[in-house]
Amino acid sequence: MRYIIMGGVASGASFATRLRRLDEKSEIIIYEMSGYVSYANCGLPYFIGDIIKDKSCLTLETPLSFKEKFNIDVLINHQVIKIDYLNKKIIIKDCLSGIRSYLAYRILVNNNFKAYNLSGGYRIYQLFMNNKSLENEAIEEE
């Protein structure tokens, strides 16, 4: 079984490690479009305020530590740009080279819903409650 998780950080990284504890055998891949898969957002103000001086203190886990500790593959600088729900595959862009590729999935975990405020949160809630297709809600083509 292959699980693909779009986006790391609090939700994606937590989901991936929890999943590994429940399922030792499956392939788990996280695609993270930024350069960091697991970091402390809440520490940012302290870094900006010069209280935390070492940037590396904000980084909790790295792709290497994910692999070593949990056997989870993390591809940073890789953005999922499209989900082909029909054929169960995602289109991925390597943000550094621009090269696109695709990968088939069995189960997709989408951590790409944007809720910048309570209104956004309600909107996602309503989509789920109304059982509407979430296709194209999450991904924007460039």
Ligand X SMILES: Cc1cc2nc3c(=O)[nH]c(=O)nc-3n(C[C@H](O)[C@H](O)[C@H](O)COP(=O)(O)OP(=O)(O)OC[C@H]3O[C@@H](n4cnc5c(N)ncnc54)[C@H](O)[C@@H]3O)c2cc1C
Classify burial at 37, counting beta carbons within 10 Å of its beta carbon; exposed 0-12, middle 13-18, buried 19 or more. Answer: buried
What is the smallest separation between the CB atom of 72 and ligand X, expressed in angstroms? 15
Q: Which is nearer to ligand X, 25 or 117 (CB)?
A: 117
Q: Which residues carry out catalysis?
A: 42
What is the smallest separation between the CB atom of 74 and ligand X, expressed in angstroms? 11
Residues engaged in binding ligand X (CB under 6 A): 6-12, 31-34, 41-42, 44-45, 79-80, 111-112, 139
Work out whether strand 89-94 and strand 100-104 pair parallel, antiparallel, or are unpaired.
antiparallel
What is the smallest separation between the CB atom of 47 and ligand X, expressed in angstroms? 9
What length is written for the chain?
A: 142
CB 61 within 8 A of CB 80: no
